[in-house]
Amino acid sequence: EAQVTQNPRYLITVTGKKLTVTCSQNMNHEYMSWYRQDPGLGLRQIYYSMNVEVTDKGDVPEGYKVSRKEKRNFPLILESPSPNQTSLYFCASRPQGSGELFFGEGSRLTVL
Amino acid sequence: GENVEQHPSTLSVQEGDSAVIKCTYSDSASNYFPWYKQELGKGPQLIIDIRSNVGEKKDQRIAVTLNKTAKHFSLHITETQPEDSAVYFCAGKGGGTSYGKLTFGQGTILTVHP
């Protein structure tokens, strides 16, 4: 089944404790992206990657890192999480030249 | 860069009524406008999209209209059903220096009452 898989789906952590949210897609898509969803603010792009070893900042990159060492994986790293990073995070992918984004099911992160 | 504004933030309708959600965009070079539906506990899914060379597109009970001059586009859902209840997001794909970047609206929570 074609899908974007995120882990963990739910996580409660404390300020300053490094964490990684993994994202994997099995559709051989070139483009991958991370979004955060907050009430009243919609989906805001954190980072995106046009292909392996190519990443770029989105609208709200502060406090996040990403890497794209393989085509299928695009992990989101929070080196020192803070409470303002409490949010619902979505990974998405699409093939090059296509408009349709395929989203994962989301990762709800709470930073205390 | 592109700025997309979406209204209303919440919309409540009776089953069988129509629902309309409106979005405006700022980048006149934007050329692609998708709509995503997000059901509870799920990621958003594309339900319909329109390109800038088309004024209207329909898919069964769903239609999208685009007014390039006024820089706004709308989602129309006819004969609403309880399963249409969800969060709907519009988006615009920018041109120029924002080429390829999808900017989302704030979302509309649609509730269809049986």
pLDDT category of residue B98 using cuts at 50, 70 and 90: very low
Interface residues from chain B to A (CB-CB < 8 Å): 6, 9, 32, 34, 36, 41-46, 49, 89, 93, 101-107
pLDDT over 60 (residue B79): yes
Q: Average of pLDDT values for B109-114?
A: 97
Top residue of A32, A103, A105 to mutate, by most chain B CBs within 10 Å, is A103
| pLDDT tens digits, B18-73 | 999 999 999 888 889 999 999 999 999 999 999 988 899 999 999 999 999 999 99
Chain B residues lying within 8 Å of A100, measured CB to CB = 34, 46, 49
Least confident of A7-21, A84-98, B83-97: B83-97
Report the C-alpha gap between A103 and B46 in whole angstroms.
9
Whether residue B43 and residue A41 make contact (CB cut-off 8 A), yes or no, is no
CA distance A88 to chain B (A): 10
What was the pLDDT predicted at B100?
64
| pLDDT tens digits, A63-103 | 999 999 999 999 999 999 999 999 999 999 998 877 899 99
Both tokens of A78, joined, read 């929070």
DSSP alpha helices (H): ranges in B32-94?
A: none
List the helix and strand counts (H, then E) for chain B: 0, 11
In DSSP notation, A2-30 reads --EEEE-SEEEE-TT--EEEEEEESS--S
What mean pLDDT is reported for chain B?
93
Q: Average of pLDDT values for A48-61?
A: 93
Name the percent of chain A lying above pLDDT 70.
100
Contact A7, A89 (CB under 8 A): no
Chain B residues lying within 8 Å of A105, measured CB to CB = 41-43
Report the C-alpha gap between A74 and B71 in whole angstroms.
34
